[in-house]
């Protein structure tokens, strides 16, 4: 969803009757759901004093109750992690009790797993380098599935794929199914059965208008819920507010949310005396660029296709725009022709479709075919190099990681492409047509990172400052980190839950 009104032409737009009705609906919605309410307890943003010890460790002293005296401290090890908490228990301004985080009995701890919408990996790394989030090891790069959508990502995390569709509206082979009602009732979100807290969907629209207060509301609800839980329990919470701040205000919005999130986590740990063990992860990244609309349906009409609600006829196509995202789904009886022709629409960067036992990817730079084996993936270029992988594959040949049939080892291919223009593209494109969605689109579309498809109504009302959905690096890369221990430097979303469990974080498995 977009948040910032267009400039210069907005007055004309807002005067139109249908825009007025939408704005009136949002005002009524705001009245129905009420205000965001009080925010969470936060640590002071800055210490009142700091000492650097001969060992390289750092002591930060805080006035946590705003009475002008230091009453709490965090000790950071030489490698920058918060390892010891200190408390003034008698009010004399001196630290007289310490808690070593590494010596807390895990049986006395509660786990808190926070799923954050749309936070890009690069911004979390930037904040970690500046000294924030030091309860955690350095952030891990998490590669999301394609299409880069919340439901698909978290369904992979909890191992409950497939979702019915790419979004809350899709074509089931006979009819277009879903829409706002499907979104409001989470019917495209099987992963939510593992979540203890998520904001009511009715409030999502208001959140995108007033993102920071409502993100604070989410954190307060999480704070209260965790406070009610006993030792040995796990609380899983989902925050949509981080998507709203990024869509509304881009980098500045995400920065404000990250600062608040860091202060929130440190407050939870301080108040629990280290007996809440926190894990954070985002579903995907955000391009943090203003977006322009791709009119996919109109473009297909100009190319001679009939855009409708069924597939009666070779020229028939169905498109199902919903959110404002840099990917799209097309349903058609002629996927090869549509995939090729859609590249003529301004803003379309790549298309893909399934053809027998392969997936074909078509781009401005040519066409290639993806095959899968138990060993890995083969990238057969037919023309050009649409995924820019020829050099990568050649390098794997040279290091002995390609078998006699031309299949590159899956793990090595992942490692070699984690910071590629299209990270882990062969696996993600293959998976997109193999079990990620129940009603698989015939053609999947990846747009330029500053373009989006979506609702015409929302496009007229708002302007995006953050986009996701496409196969590109920034959109595709979220983050994870856990107080339980360091995670691999990079990991697929589908492997992240097990990795968290291996380091000791209690994340519910799909069977629970």
DSSP 19-74: HHHHHHHHHHHHHHH-----------SS-SEEEE-TTS-EEEEE-TTSSSS--EEE
Question: Hey, which of 2-6, 30-34, 417-421 has the most confident mean pLDDT?
Answer: 417-421
Report residue 461's pLDDT band, with 50, 70 and 90 as the boundaries: low
Sign of CA dihedral 416, 421, 426, 429: positive
Whether residue 483 is predicted with pLDDT greater than 50 in this model: the reply is: yes
pLDDT of residue 29: 47
- Number of Cβ within a 10 Å radius of residue 162: 17
**pLDDT per residue as tens digits for the range 365-379:** 999 999 999 999 999
Whether residue 334 is predicted with pLDDT greater than 70 in this model: the reply is: yes
pLDDT of residue 122: 97
pLDDT of residue 31: 41
Sign of CA dihedral 160, 165, 168, 174: negative
Whether residue 19 is predicted with pLDDT greater than 50 in this model: the reply is: no
**pLDDT per residue as tens digits for the range 54-94:** 999 999 999 998 888 899 999 999 999 999 999 998 888 78
Model confidence, pTM: 0.92
Average of per-residue pLDDT across 298-326: 94
**pLDDT per residue as tens digits for the range 204-220:** 878 877 888 999 999 99
Average of per-residue pLDDT across 252-281: 97
Q: Which of 160, 233, 231 is nearest to 192 (CA)?
A: 160
Whether residue 98 is predicted with pLDDT greater than 60 in this model: the reply is: yes
Report residue 237's pLDDT band, with 50, 70 and 90 as the boundaries: very high
Show the domains of the chain with their CATH numbers.
105-289+470-502 (3.40.720.10), 292-453 (no CATH)
Average of per-residue pLDDT across 428-451: 97
Average pLDDT, the chain: 90
Report helix angle 121-129 to 241-271, nearest 10. 40
- Please state the φ and ψ torsions of residue 328, each to the nearest 5 degrees: -155, 160
pLDDT of residue 37: 72
**pLDDT per residue as tens digits for the range 380-403:** 999 999 999 999 999 999 999 999
Helix (H, G, I), strand (E, B) or coil at 409: strand
Whether residue 14 is predicted with pLDDT greater than 60 in this model: the reply is: no
Dihedral in degrees, nearest 10, Cα atoms 316, 319, 320, 322:
-150
In terms of Cβ atoms closer than 10 Å to its own Cβ (0-12, 13-18, 19+), residue 79 is: exposed
Q: Are 191 and 216 in contact (CB under 8 A)?
A: no
Task: Assign 3-class secondary structure to 279-337.
Answer: EEEECCCCCCCCCEECCHHHHHHHCCCEECCCCCCCCEEEECCCCCECEEEEEECCHHH
- Number of Cβ within a 10 Å radius of residue 185: 12
Query: Pairing relation of β-strands 490-492 and 140-143?
Result: parallel
More confident residue, 185 or 462: 185
Q: How far is Cα 101 from Cα 221, in angstroms, rounded to an integer? A: 25
pLDDT of residue 92: 85
pLDDT of residue 261: 98
Angle, vertex CA 494, rays to CA 491 and CA 500, nearest 5: 65
Whether residue 3 is predicted with pLDDT greater than 60 in this model: the reply is: no
Percent of the chain surpassing pLDDT 90 = 78
Give the H/E segment covering residue 425.
helix 425-432
pLDDT of residue 97: 93
Whether residue 313 is predicted with pLDDT greater than 70 in this model: the reply is: yes
Report residue 458's pLDDT band, with 50, 70 and 90 as the boundaries: low
Helices (H) and strands (E) in the chain, counts: 16, 25
DSSP summary character for residue 406: S
Lookup: tokens for 104: 């807390």
Whether residue 11 is predicted with pLDDT greater than 80 in this model: the reply is: no
Average of per-residue pLDDT across 484-491: 97
Number of residues that this document lists for the chain: 512
Q: Which of 476, 432, 470 is nearest to 453 (CA)?
A: 470
Side-chain half-sphere exposure of 101, counting CA atoms within 13 A: 24
Question: Hey, which of 94-103, 174-183, 419-428 has the most confident mean pLDDT?
Answer: 419-428
pLDDT of residue 34: 56
Residues 6+ apart with CB under 8 A from 452: 291, 292, 293, 294, 324, 325, 326, 464, 467, 469
Stretch among 28-32, 315-319, 503-507 having the lowest mean pLDDT: 28-32
372-403 burial, b at 16+ Cβ within 10 Å, e below that, comes to beeebbbbebeeebbbebeebbeebeeeebbe
Lookup: tokens for 488: 């691999």
């Amino acid at each position: 969803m977009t948040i910032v009104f267009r400039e210069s032409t907005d007055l004309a737009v807002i005067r139109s009757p249908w825009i007025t009705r939408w704005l009136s609906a949002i005002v009524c919605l705001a009245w129905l759901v009420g205000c965001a309410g009080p925010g969470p307890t936060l640590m002071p943003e800055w210490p009142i004093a700091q000492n650097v010890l001969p060992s390289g460790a750092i002591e930060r002293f805080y006035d946590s109750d705003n009475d002008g005296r230091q009453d709490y401290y965090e000790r950071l090890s030489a490698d920058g992690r918060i390892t010891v908490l200190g408390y003034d228990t008698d009010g004399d301004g001196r630290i007289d009790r310490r808690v070593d985080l590494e010596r807390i009995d895990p049986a006395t701890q509660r786990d808190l797993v926070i799923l954050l919408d749309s936070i890009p990996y690069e911004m979390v790394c930037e904040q970690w380098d500046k000294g924030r989030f030091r309860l955690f090891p350095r952030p891990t790069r998490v590669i999301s599935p394609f299409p880069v959508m919340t439901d698909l990502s978290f369904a992979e995390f909890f191992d409950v794929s497939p979702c019915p569709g790419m979004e809350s509206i899709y074509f089931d082979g006979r009819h277009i199914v879903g829409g706002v009602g499907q979104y409001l009732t989470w019917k495209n979100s099987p992963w939510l059965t593992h979540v203890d807290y998520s904001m009511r969907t009715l409030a999502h629209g208001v959140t995108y208008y007033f993102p920071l207060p409502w993100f604070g509301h989410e954190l307060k609800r999480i704070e209260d819920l965790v406070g009610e839980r006993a030792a040995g329990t796990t609380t899983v919470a989902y925050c949509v507010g981080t998507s709203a701040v990024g869509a509304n205000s881009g980098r500045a919005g995400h920065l404000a949310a990250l600062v608040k999130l860091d202060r929130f986590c440190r407050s939870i740990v301080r108040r629990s005396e280290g007996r809440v063990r926190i894990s954070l992860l985002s579903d995907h990244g955000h391009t943090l660029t203003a977006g322009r609309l791709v009119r996919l349906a109109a473009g297909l009409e100009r190319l001679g296709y009939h855009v409708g609600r069924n597939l009666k006829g070779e020229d028939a196509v169905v498109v199902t725009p919903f959110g404002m995202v840099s990917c799209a789904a097309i349903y058609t009886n002629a996927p090869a022709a549509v995939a090729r022709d859609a590249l003529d629409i301004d803003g379309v960067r790549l298309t893909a479709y399934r053809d027998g036992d392969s997936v074909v990817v078509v781009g401005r730079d040519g066409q290639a075919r993806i095959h899968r084996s138990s060993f890995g993936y083969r990238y057969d270029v037919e023309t050009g190099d649409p995924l820019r992988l020829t050099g990568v594959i050649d390098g794997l040949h040279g290091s002995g990681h390609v078998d006699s049939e031309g299949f590159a080892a899956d793990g090595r291919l992942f490692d070699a492409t984690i910071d590629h223009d299209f990270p882990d593209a062969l696996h993600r494109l293959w998976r997109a047509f193999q079990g990620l969605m129940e009603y698989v689109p015939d053609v999947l579309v990846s747009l330029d990172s500053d373009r989006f498809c979506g609702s015409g109504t929302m496009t007229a009302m708002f302007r995006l400052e953050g986009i996701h959905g496409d196969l590109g690096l920034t959109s595709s890369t979220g983050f994870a980190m856990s107080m339980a221990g360091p995670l691999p430097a990079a990991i697929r979303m589908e492997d992240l839950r097990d990795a968290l469990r291996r380091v000791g974080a209690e994340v519910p498995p799909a069977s629970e």
